Structure 1
Amino acid sequence: MHPPAINGTVSAHLTRSLVAAVAASRTGGLARLPDLGAEVLANDMARVSTSSLLTVWENLVLAEPRTLIGPLILEGAPIGAFGLWDYLATSGPTLRESLAQAVNLIAVIGDPAAEKLVVEEGRGRFTVRHATGSWGPDVVEAVDLFALSLFLTRARWATGRDIVASRVTVTHRPPRRSQELARLFGTDRIHFGAPYNSISFTEDDVRVPLPRAQPGVERILAQHAELVLAASRPVLGWLDRFRAVLTEAFRDGTVSLENVACRLAVSPRTLQRRLAEHDTTWREQTESVRHEHILDLLRSTDLPLRAVAGRVGYSDVRVLRRAVLRWSGKTPGELRKAVAVDRVG
């Protein structure tokens, strides 16, 4: 069982690899995030907020439209790029035991509150199912394909063979570059529009002894993983993490006390009590984060005001205008005009 403190966070190893991909794509946009600094990413015990990782994924999707960026990143990611989790996934007596252990300890690399993995066996197959958070559709698709590709690339390294998945199912529609996706997965047996995301291997592939396996190493790694999880700490304080989760909820239109409490793995009553301990309330924080989100949308996008209002939970553009004027002393149009002048200057 993972420590509840790491809910809403991911490993520095995972974040470091994806930030490096953003840097290579030259899309930028990450400098303002407090938990993506070089000193944080260099600390293997640090846990980065899932909200910040979501921003990284958004930048990656911009760099690689139609979301093939996930599998493409893994083409150049050697074993060890994702730290301890890579070895958990490749060091068991067989591929079956290695992948099952990697699923059980997904918290070592990802957010246990957002990443849902299930192992299924039967009909001559070993299957890993995957589901992630309710974010923007392009980001969700990128993360889903990344996760499936991650299990495939680690399975190939563990076996020392270019094994092919016996079946791949994806909930999304076929990308424009479906032939390249088939090349990345090594098969055209990819079923789109499926009820769930999954990757399957044959019983023959998963039960053959792994060539690099050393007796007992998998148990030592699992024990070490538990110690790492117990010692790891989120970079952001509790209130900052709460605000990051609330910001994420505004992005995907799921702002409610119950939903945010669920993402933080606490009850709504506990969430309200924790906010009171920080001398604030749900209403105060919701208005504050809504304010920041509105200003960010006005300054960084060309969305029409009706769309901005809808994204932050306002049903009327007039309500949006009054709120912006109250917070900033300027109308939405004046704010955008000031940003345009600053860019020219």
Structure 2
Amino acid sequence: MIEAYGVSGPRFARRLGVPVRALENLNVRLPGSVIDTGFRNAMALIADPAFALRAAECWHPSHLKTLGYAWLVSGSLYTALSRLERFICIPAGRALLKCTETEAGLYVTYDTGRGDTALGHAMADFGLSLIISMCRTNVGGSVHLQSVSLRRPAPANPDPYQRFFKCEVTFGAERDGFVLPWKIVNRPLPTANAEFAQIFDDILVSELAQLTGADLVHRCRRFLMDSLSSGEPAEERLAEALSMSRRTLQRKLAENGLSYRVILDKIRHDLARRHLGSDEKSLTDIAFMLGFSEQSAFARAFKRWQGVSPSEYRSQGGAFYYGKPENLSAL
């Protein structure tokens, strides 16, 4: 992609401190920090702010190895995107994909894990261009999107985005994502093969289990944060979302000195202090946002974490400090 803009591949590799042969080897897995540095360098070297959309010109699903092959034999775009939602952390690390059913169609959101930043915007362009290109490859032609939303501010020249997505694009949105109409999402694909899909899924589950503890903890945090507003998520639901048994999840977290309850408490504690730092939300609202069934349960938990009640903490402007739960270095 960067060579399409006249940037020398070997020189770019040297800027990243990575051997050229590492970039040429599709089996090499680069650390997330190197990927981030690569995007920042590309942003500095390439004048076109929409450069990452051209990733689709240099891509094929097979570059994702097992996940790409599983994508190609999926029965429909619905099953393909659901498969990508489940296993995207294998190739993309911190990124998350979420599929939500709406009346207009399947709403697919893509979170790079880099926040609402210039880096996050570029990586969202990159990721969305690849995902939509994969959809077009599977369908074997044009895919008419219902709409596209991007977190990035409206660019001076939106034409590259209109040309690529070929639909209405909303900038400055809350999330990066797109909506696929149901008639496209549920259309049977000509390359579908259920037997091969099951074989590839078995391999992917094995690959998922080999992810490092840090990746696992990050994925646990992201799932729990997304689920809290619907009540306290059960440990079984978390394990299912990570495609592993409850016992396997417990064992892997224990290897990092952690547990489901420790991670959940840390997330709730952090979010509670953040919300209590202002008067925008009532204590009842905060309790339900953190997945507590009633305010009294939230108050007891907060006093255990912080040593004071939520109302005392708020009245003192968050001045209290009461240590932190043990074994949180991985968080």
Q: For the superposition of Structure 1 and Structure 2, which TM-score range results when normalised by the shorter chain?
A: 0.5 to 0.7
Residues 67 and 139, structure 1, Cα contact 8 Å, conserved in 2: no
Q: Structure 2: state its 5+ residue gaps.
A: 215-251, 259-331
Structure 1 residues 135 and 129: alpha-carbon distance in aligned structure 2, compared to 1, 3 A threshold: closer
Residues 110 and 124, structure 2, Cα contact 8 Å, conserved in 1: yes
1:30 shift after superposition: 3.4
1:206 shift after superposition: 0.8
1:122-178 superposed Cα distances (whole Å, 9 cap, x missing partner): 203111111223368322111111122222111111011201211101111122231
1:45-84 correspondence runs (5 A): 45-65=27-47, 67-84=49-66
Question: Partner of 1:221 in structure 2?
Answer: 200
1:112-123 correspondence runs (5 A): 114-123=94-103
Aligned length: 219
SS at match of 2:110: strand
SS at match of 2:137: helix
SS at match of 1:120: strand
Question: Partner of 1:102 in structure 2?
Answer: 84
1:266 shift after superposition: 8.3
Structure 1 residues 68 and 225: alpha-carbon distance in aligned structure 2, compared to 1, 3 A threshold: same
Question: Partner of 2:182 in structure 1?
Answer: 203
Q: Whole-Å Cα distance in 1 between the matches of residues 3 and 257 of structure 2?
A: 38
Structure 1 residues 25 and 41: alpha-carbon distance in aligned structure 2, compared to 1, 3 A threshold: closer
TM-score by length of 1: 0.56
Residues 171 and 192, structure 1, Cα contact 8 Å, conserved in 2: yes
Question: Partner of 2:135 in structure 1?
Answer: 155
1:276-317 superposed Cα distances (whole Å, 9 cap, x missing partner): xxxxxxxxxxxxxxxxxxxxxxxxxxxxxxxxxxxxxxxxxx
The one-letter code matched in structure 2 to 1:160 is G
For 1:140, which of 116, 120, 124 is the aligned residue?
120
Q: Whole-Å Cα distance in 2 between the matches of residues 37 and 85 of structure 1?
A: 26
SS at match of 2:42: helix
TM-score by length of 2: 0.58
1:228-263 superposed Cα distances (whole Å, 9 cap, x missing partner): 4456789xxx9xxxxxxxxxxxxxxxxxxxxxxxxx
Structure 1 residues 30 and 135: alpha-carbon distance in aligned structure 2, compared to 1, 3 A threshold: farther
The one-letter code matched in structure 1 to 2:107 is T
Q: Whole-Å Cα distance in 2 between the matches of residues 179 and 39 of structure 1?
A: 36
1:46 shift after superposition: 3.9
Question: Partner of 1:31 in structure 2?
Answer: 14
1:63 shift after superposition: 3.1
Question: Partner of 2:164 in structure 1?
Answer: 184
Structure 1 residues 44 and 147: alpha-carbon distance in aligned structure 2, compared to 1, 3 A threshold: closer
Structure 1 residues 33 and 180: alpha-carbon distance in aligned structure 2, compared to 1, 3 A threshold: closer
SS at match of 2:134: helix
SS at match of 2:141: coil
Structure 1 residues 136 and 195: alpha-carbon distance in aligned structure 2, compared to 1, 3 A threshold: closer
Identical aligned residues as a percent: 19
Residues 100 and 107, structure 2, Cα contact 8 Å, conserved in 1: yes
Mean Cα displacement is larger for which, 171-180 or 154-163? 171-180
Residues 79 and 86, structure 1, Cα contact 8 Å, conserved in 2: yes
Q: CA RMSD, aligned part only?
A: 3.2
Residues 47 and 233, structure 1, Cα contact 8 Å, conserved in 2: no
Q: Whole-Å Cα distance in 1 between the matches of residues 160 and 201 of structure 2?
A: 36
Q: Whole-Å Cα distance in 2 between the matches of residues 142 and 182 of structure 1?
A: 16
The one-letter code matched in structure 2 to 1:49 is P
1:1-345 correspondence runs (5 A): 21=3, 24-26=6-8, 28-31=11-14, 33=16, 36-41=18-23, 45-65=27-47, 67-111=49-93, 114-134=94-114, 137-187=117-167, 189-230=168-209
* Higher relative contact order, structure no. (Cα contacts within 8 Å, ≥ 6 residues apart): 1
SS at match of 2:174: coil
1:88 shift after superposition: 3.0
Structure 1 residues 185 and 63: alpha-carbon distance in aligned structure 2, compared to 1, 3 A threshold: farther
SS at match of 2:29: strand
Q: Whole-Å Cα distance in 2 between the matches of residues 197 and 32 of structure 1?
A: 29
Residues 66 and 176, structure 1, Cα contact 8 Å, conserved in 2: no
SS at match of 2:84: helix
1:104 shift after superposition: 0.7
